[in-house]
Each structure stands twice: as structure tokens, then as C-alpha cells.
Chain A
Amino acid sequence: MAIQVDRLPDVNRRTQEPRKRPSGGSILAYILLALGSIVMFFPFLWMLLSSFKDIREILDINFFPQTWTLANYREVIFDTRFPRWFFNSMVVALATTLSGLFFCSLIGYTLTRMRFPGRQVIFILILSTLMVPTEMLVIPWFVMSSDFGWINTFWGIAFPGLMPAFGVFLMRQFFQTLPRDLFDAARVDGIGEFGLFWRIGLPLVKPALAALGIFAFIGNWSAFLWPLIIAKSASMRTIPVGIALFSGEAGTAWNLIMAANALAIIPVLLVFFVFQKQIIEGVVLTGTKG
């Protein structure tokens, strides 16, 4: 590679002041990032501001509401089944998250820290399900649910999310890093097999559990296709399904639609900003480990 002399001063400056970068480039980066942030955040802001507007000014397209009103929220909360949908989503998301945490880590632990014939086959079996898109499963699931009476039940909405295969994969990666001697030593001490997993293994993979838990929760909270199929009655809808059908009925009452959407989106955003660090670490873990 030919040396380009004009780049050399740059190099010298960098070695003298390693922490400072050429400020021109840095300012440009900040400007670009700030502009991008506005684009990224604008839809949320627009939704939020519109949700406080009166029906008469909703089509005027003022940025801020002229008169701030909570009437839209009142209407969505008291005149629709929103509270019920919130409750349904909470039940489904919490149940699937807890189940996912327990089973994915149990499977991950068993597949890596226990010795038994057929270990590899079982892992490949579980991993292979990652290749099958949900779309391919919903029709047999629907047929099965009709036969077994699972339509409009919590079990029916929740069962697909009980043991996500990506969670098994993630937990397996983590348990693999724990030294086997640790478990063998505890085993000699007389700790039972379940105790080895529960008391020794689990506490050591807490970061992975946090990541998996948050992802399972967000994923199940936002799930749309399957709940849309299985939750037929208005009282069994989850939030995304309730929002979609309610908004479809509300027509152009955008103030109500925006209030309903804000109620669906804001809680997730708040949780995200509180647990931001763990969530982003979780993405990194799944991205680099998974």
C-alpha cells in the first residue's frame, strides 16, 4: 500500500492526544445523529401530542394541542375494553416469560451440563424449529385449538410462546461457559440434580436470564398474528389485537386512535427507558453469542 503523505499529520495528532478526535468530524456526527433522532422519535411525539387534542382540532395539524384534554384517554379506558385487553396481555406476557425463563434455562442446562445419550439429537431437534416460520404453524395450531377447545382461552393465546427456541440456544451458550467441575463437585457433596440446576447453575447465568426475560416479555406483549387468530371474542383480545380492531372501528377519530395507541406504546417505552442497559446488553448477547 502506497503511503499517502497527507494523512501523516493526522496520525501524529492522534498519538499526541489520543482521546480527542478532529472536532469538525465529531460535530458533524452529532448533527447527523441528532437529525436522525428527531426522525426516529417524531412518530412517538406526534402520537402523544395528538392524543391530548380535542376531536375538533385533530385535523388542523397543529403541533401542540390548543386545549389539552384527557377526554380521549377517558373514552378509551372507560368506553372500550382496553383495561381488559391490558390485563390479558399482562397475563399472557408474564406467563410466557416465566415459563420461558424456567424451561429455556432448564433445557440449556440439561443439554450442556448433564451427560446422557441423545443429547446432540435433542439439541438439533429444538434448534431445527427455529427454521419454521410461525406462519407455517398457525393453521395446524388453529385446527388443533378448535378440536381441543383452546380458542378464546389464555392457554390458547399463550402456548406458542412457552419455550422459545432462541431462548434455549441463548441459555445453552451461557451454561456451556460454566466449568463442569463445579457441578461435579456439588454432586459429590450430595446436592440433587434439580438442586444443581436451581441453586448452582441459575444464579450464575443471571445476565442471560435478564436478557431472555425482557425479550420474551416484549415479544409476547407485541405478538399479533397468532392472538388475532385465536382470540375471537372481544374480551379475550390482547392489546395489539384490541388496538387494531378498535382503531379499525374508530374510523377517522384519530384522537381516540392515538390515545389508544399511546396506551399500548407508552408503557413499553417506559419499561425500555428504565431497563435500557439490560435490554441493549441482551441484544448484544443474542447477537454475538446467539
Chain B
Amino acid sequence: MQQGLEQPTAHARTGISLARREAIWAYIFLAVPLAFYLGLRIWPAFQSFYLSLFSWHVDAAQREFLGAQQYGQMLSDPKLHRALLNTLLYTAIIVPAQLALGLGIAMLLNSVEKFQPLFRAIYFAPYVTPAAAVAWVWGWMYSVNFGVINNAIIEWGIFWERLGVNFLTVDPQPFLTSPKQALAAVAVVVIWQNLGFQVVIFLAGLKGVPKMFYEAARIDGANRWQLFKSITIPLLNPVIVFSLIISTIASLQLFDQVVNINFTDQGGPLNSTLTIALYMYQEAFSRFRLGYAAAITVLLFGLILIVTLLQLKFASRSVEY
């Protein structure tokens, strides 16, 4: 199809071949985007590496070359270790919970016919709302003395106590004020907010699985668990890998919710909710140690890269439909 067009036509008169003309236009179209990506995306990424080798000073001439010194400094920075550990913990809680709940709810949705769009919309709604704003609502709900969750716990206790059933009562919880619970409390908010995304992706994936596979397996006598394990999971593999990687990357970059849920005590009691992104922000914009902060972002970049590659390597299975 291309051959006919390469023949000289009207444009031959101008001395530029049609193919050459097309290429020139392509470069014109890409000139602004290339400038954007090279100047504002790729160059700054390299600059982060570069800045991480220097001590910070507003005047570029007075920045002192430190080499890898700031990376060495990381080894003896307990707050960074805490942030790193927390970030991995968040990921370890959020990602499996989101995937399991997302798949479970998607399967429930797939099994009902009425109200499916309504349910889907309700589950998805938190995903479109600004994390910074919803975190405040949750922060208040978690409040020790004035929070609706602890209030519900107290009411629940009173209800059972009246009936004389004491073993069902639960004590009010410290949630965000406890170094032990704060991280999990934040993780719940993140799961709540992003769950709908996983539900929608999984539901679309489930609708793409041919019904006849299930019918055939059922005739062969497969039970529900076998259907799930041998048909649903393998056929959903591309969707699962996509969800896994997206939610892992988002968890490793956690920032908005952590900052806003406990605004007066960012990072939580004893830094129990501190993440790498928040620590980077504090180092860069509260303590103005931009060189060290840049080194932290390089660490975060490396972490994301390694985790993503590992997931791609071990989670992907090519499946023949």
C-alpha cells in the first residue's frame, strides 16, 4: 500500500519527496513535546543524581562536591531506615489487601445483575476525590475522644453490656496516636481510596473471560475453588500484574494521605507513619538539605525500579486464550 504513494506526485515539482516532507512535518509536530520531555522530564531526573553528589547551597558555585558521601550518610540515618521500613510495610499491607478485596468485590459484582453500575460507582467514588481532602475526614473519624469510630466502639460496648454479654465489648482504640496502630490506620485509608480502581479493572477483566470456560470446567466437575484457581486467576494474569504494579508503585510513593491525616504530627508518633516521600519532602523543604533529599529520591527511584522489574519477572505468565 505504501509503494504507490512513494511515486513522485505533485510534490516532486518542489524537489522534496513525499516521504521527506512527511518526516519534516513529523519533526515539527514533535519539536515542542521533545523539548518538554528532554528539558522538564529527562534532564531533571539526571539532575537529581547530580545534585545528590553535592552539599546544598542556593548559590550553585558554593555547592561542595561530596561524591557518594550522602549515600554513605544514609547508612547511619535511623530516621531514613524507619521511613524505608514503613514504606515497605505500607506496600506489604496495601497491595495484597487491595488486590484481594478488589478481586473479591469484582467477583461479587460480576455475580449480580441488578444495581451493578450503582455499586460500581459507589466503590469507585473515593478514587476520584482528592487524597489530601479525604485524609482529613478520616483523621477526624480516627480521633481518640471525638472520633466517630471510637464512639461506635463505645456504643457497641454499652449495647452488649446491657445484655450482659461482656466478652463482645472492645476498648476504644488510640489509632493515629499510637505508634503501633498509626501505620495500619493510614493504610486502611489508602486501601479505601484506591480499592475502586482495582474493582473496575478486575471487573473488566472478569467480563473478558469467556463463559464457556467455566461451563466446560463445571461439566468436568470442577468446584468453585478449582474454577477460581484454574480459570479465573490464570486468565486474569495480565490484569493482576497491571494492578499489582500500579498499586505497588503508588504505595512506594505514599505522601498525600500521610501528610494530611495527622497534619500536626506529620510522620505520626515516633515517625511511625513516615514514608520515604514525606522524609524527602521534610529534608528538602523544611530543613533545606536538598542534596541529601535528592539522594533519597534516587534511592526511591532505585527501589521502585527493582520492585517493578521483580514483579514483572515473577508475576507475568503468558496465557494462551
Q: A272: which B residues are within 8 A, CB to CB?
A: 121, 124-125, 128
Q: Which 4 A-B pairs have the closest CB atoms?
A: A140-B44, A116-B23, A240-B132, A3-B221
Instruction: Name the CB-closest residue of B to A117.
Output: B23
Instruction: Name the CB-closest residue of A to B154.
Output: A61
CA distance A159 to B222 in the complex (A): 55
Selected contact of B220 from candidates A3, A225, A243, CB within 8 Å: A3
Q: A122: which B residues are within 8 A, CB to CB?
A: 30, 34
Instruction: Name the CB-closest residue of A to B214.
Output: A14
Q: B243: which A residues are within 8 A, CB to CB?
A: 287
Chain A interface residues toward B at CB < 8 A: 1-5, 7-8, 10-11, 14, 21, 25-26, 29-30, 32-33, 36-37, 39-41, 43-44, 46-47, 50, 59, 61, 103, 106-107, 109-110, 114-117, 119, 122, 125-126, 128-129, 131-144, 146, 159-160, 162-163, 165, 180-181, 184, 187-188, 193-194, 197, 218, 221-222, 224-225, 228-229, 239-241, 243-244, 247-248, 252, 254, 257-258, 261, 264-265, 268-269, 271-273, 276-277, 279-280, 283-284, 287-288
Is residue B122 contacting chain A, with contact meaning CB distance below 8 A?
Answer: yes
Shortest B133–chain A CB gap in Å is 4
Selected contact of A133 from candidates B105, B117, B204, B301, CB within 8 Å: B301
Shortest B206–chain A CB gap in Å is 11
CA distance A270 to B115 in the complex (A): 19
28 contacts between A and B (CB under 8 A): A1-B226, A36-B105, A40-B122, A43-B141, A44-B137, A61-B151, A107-B29, A110-B29, A110-B30, A122-B30, A122-B34, A139-B51, A140-B51, A141-B44, A181-B1, A222-B130, A225-B256, A241-B132, A243-B130, A243-B136, A252-B146, A254-B146, A265-B130, A265-B133, A271-B128, A272-B121, A280-B121, A283-B204
CA distance A276 to B219 in the complex (A): 38
Shortest B139–chain A CB gap in Å is 9
Shortest B9–chain A CB gap in Å is 7
CA distance A109 to B30 in the complex (A): 10
Is residue B64 contacting chain A, with contact meaning CB distance below 8 A?
Answer: no
B1 x A43 contact (CB < 8 A): no
B26 x A287 contact (CB < 8 A): no
Is residue B273 contacting chain A, with contact meaning CB distance below 8 A?
Answer: no
A4 x B293 contact (CB < 8 A): no
**A133-B249, A193-B29, A224-B259 provided; 17 other pairs, C-beta below 8 A?**
A3-B221, A33-B112, A39-B192, A40-B125, A110-B26, A115-B22, A129-B45, A136-B45, A136-B301, A137-B44, A194-B25, A244-B132, A258-B137, A276-B121, A283-B200, A283-B201, A284-B201
B242 x A247 contact (CB < 8 A): no
Q: Interface majority SS on B: helix, strand, loop or mixed?
A: helix
Q: A115: which B residues are within 8 A, CB to CB?
A: 19, 22-23, 26
Is residue B316 contacting chain A, with contact meaning CB distance below 8 A?
Answer: no
A133 x B201 contact (CB < 8 A): no
B22 x A41 contact (CB < 8 A): no
Q: A32: which B residues are within 8 A, CB to CB?
A: 108
Q: A59: which B residues are within 8 A, CB to CB?
A: 146
Is residue B90 contacting chain A, with contact meaning CB distance below 8 A?
Answer: no
Q: B125: which A residues are within 8 A, CB to CB?
A: 40-41, 44, 269, 272-273
- A-contacting 9-mer, from B69-77, B91-99, B277-285: B277-285
CA distance A225 to B40 in the complex (A): 17
A-B interface pairs (CB < 8 A), number = 296
Q: B252: which A residues are within 8 A, CB to CB?
A: 133
CA distance A273 to B33 in the complex (A): 34
A133 x B253 contact (CB < 8 A): yes
CA distance A268 to B40 in the complex (A): 29
CA distance A126 to B34 in the complex (A): 8
Is residue B37 contacting chain A, with contact meaning CB distance below 8 A?
Answer: yes
Shortest A182–chain B CB gap in Å is 11
A136 x B123 contact (CB < 8 A): no
Selected contact of A135 from candidates B105, B263, B280, CB within 8 Å: B280
